[in-house]
Amino acid sequence: MQRPMIIHGGTPLRGELRVNPAKNAALPILVGSLLTSEPITLEEVPRLRDIEVLLELLAHLGTRYAWEGRTLHLHTPEIKTAKAPYELVSKMRASFIVLGALLAREGEGEVSMPGGCAFGPRPVDLHIKALRDLGFAVEEENGTFSASRNGWPEGEVVFDRPTVGGTEQVMLAAALGPTEVTIVNAALEPEIVDFANFLQMLGVHIEGAGTAKMTIRGAETLGGGEYKIIPDRIEAGTYLLAAAATRGEILLEGANPEHMDALLSKLRESGHTVVTGTDWVRLKSTSEPQPLNVDAREYPGFPTDLQPPVSAYLATVPGVSLLRDLVYPDRFTHVGELARLGAELHLKERVLAIHGRRLSGARVKAFDIRGGGAMVIAALAADGETIIEGMQHVSRGYEDLENRLRSLGANVFSEPVPLQQAAD
C-alpha cells in the first residue's frame, strides 16, 4: 500500500522536464528478450512497478537480469518453464503476450487469464483467434490458456479491430521459424513500430510496421544487442495537460512530438501555444482556454490513455466539453472522483459532458494508472488541499512523479506514515 499524495493546488506549473522512456514500448520489448538466448541490453528503462512485475515473471521463466542504473541487462540462455502462473500474470494485462514468445521459442506455453487496470471488459479473444488462425492449438481450462504448435505459424491474421497487445502477440509468435505471417488491420501505435525495430535488431524480418498490413518473416535463431526505447508520449501528454490545467508553461525535452499530433492539435484548438522541435515540445498556456470535443481512438487518433487526463484538464475549462472513448467506452471510473473536486460531469450513453470551472481540493481516489494521472492533474489545478489515495496504481505508470512535479513548482508531498506503521 502506498501513502496518499497530498497536493496543495492552484499554482501554475512552470519548468522543464526530460520525458521518460515509454512503459508501453518497454513491456513488449522485455517480453521479446525471451526469444533469444543471446544477451540484451536496454538503455534507459523506466523504473516502474509494471516493469518490476514483468521482470519477476521473466525471471520465473528463466531470464537473468541486472540493473545498472537505468540500464537493464537481460539474458535468457534457456527457458526453465513454459508456464506463466496466475500469481505473476494476474497483476498486469501486458504479461499475457509471454504466450507468443513461449510458443516461438519452446513450441508451447501456458498462461493464465491476464489482470490489469479495472476499466470495463478487456478480453483476449482476438489474441486467441489470431494464434489459432496461424495454426497453433489453444485450449482454455479454468482461466488458463495452454497453447502449442505442430508446424510453424503461417498465413494471415485479420484483426476485427486493431489491438496493440494482439498485434504484439502475433509478432512474437511469428518471430522464429522458416515461415511468413501477415497481420491485416494491425495496430499502428508508435510502440508497435518500436517493438518491430527491436525485433529486427534481433534478426526478425518485418515489413510494414506502423501500417495496417505488417509481414513478419521468422528467423532460424535470433541474436542480441543494445536497444534504446522511444519516449513516453502518454507521460509527456499528462505533463502537458497538467501545465495547461494550471495555466502554466512547460518545456518537455527528449519527447517525440510526431507521436503526439492528436493531443498537440487539441491543446492548440483549446487556445494554448504549442511549439515543437525534433525532440522537444513547449506549451505556454492561455489564461482563457476553450472547451473541446474529444473522441479517443486508436493511433493516430487521440489516445485512450490520455482520455482521463484530458477530462481532468477540461474540468478546469469554463464551458461545456464533450468526450467519448471509442477504444474503451466505459473507461470513466475517474468521473465520480473528478466531481468531488467540484466539476460538473454528466455521463449519458457513453458520452461525458464536462462543465468546467475552478476546482477546489477534496479527498479522492485513483483506481487505475491514467485515472490516477487525471486526479493528479485536477488536484494541481484545484484550490486548497487534495489528498489522493490509491497512488500504488499511479506509480505503475508514472516514474518519480512526486519529485518531477516538485521540480515544476508544485506543492506535493506524501502523507506521513502513522507512527505505529512507521515503527513496524
- Interface positions with ligand UD1 (CB under 6 A): 24, 27, 93-94, 122-127, 161, 163-166, 187, 191, 304-305, 327-328
DSSP string for 84-147: E-HHHHTT-GGGGGHHHHHHHHHSEEEEEPP----SS----HHHHHHHHHTT-EEEEETTEEEE
Has 339 been annotated as catalytic?
A: no
- CA gap 55, 129 in Å, rounded: 27
Helices H / strands E in the chain, number of each: 15, 24
Q: How far is the CB of 275 from ligand UD1 (least distance, A)?
A: 27
Q: How far is the CB of 260 from ligand UD1 (least distance, A)?
A: 14
Whichever of 125 and 226 has its CB closer to ligand UD1, that residue is 125
Between CA 85 and CA 94, with CA 91 as vertex, the angle to 5 degrees is: 90
Whichever of 113 and 387 has its CB closer to ligand UD1, that residue is 113
Whichever of 87 and 125 has its CB closer to ligand UD1, that residue is 125
- CA gap 187, 105 in Å, rounded: 24
* Burial status of residue 349 (CB atoms within 10 A of its CB: 0-12, 13-18, 19 or more): exposed
**Which residues, including other chains, have CB under 8 Å from residue 87's CB and lie 6 or more apart?**
none
Q: How far is the CB of 55 from ligand UD1 (least distance, A)?
A: 15
Whichever of 94 and 317 has its CB closer to ligand UD1, that residue is 94
Q: How far is the CB of 160 from ligand UD1 (least distance, A)?
A: 8
Whichever of 110 and 298 has its CB closer to ligand UD1, that residue is 298
Please give the residue whose beta carbon sits closest to ligand UD1 in the complex: 165
Asked if residues 73 and 38 have their Cβ atoms less than 8 Å apart, the reply is no
Q: How far is the CB of 334 from ligand UD1 (least distance, A)?
A: 14
Whichever of 126 and 209 has its CB closer to ligand UD1, that residue is 126
**Which residues, including other chains, have CB under 8 Å from residue 125's CB and lie 6 or more apart?**
none
The helix or strand, by DSSP H or E, that contains position 250, with its residue range, turns out to be strand 249-253
* Burial status of residue 42 (CB atoms within 10 A of its CB: 0-12, 13-18, 19 or more): buried
- CA gap 397, 366 in Å, rounded: 12
Q: How far is the CB of 355 from ligand UD1 (least distance, A)?
A: 26
Q: Which residue out of 45, 94, 97, 117 is catalytically annotated?
A: 117
Active site residues: 117
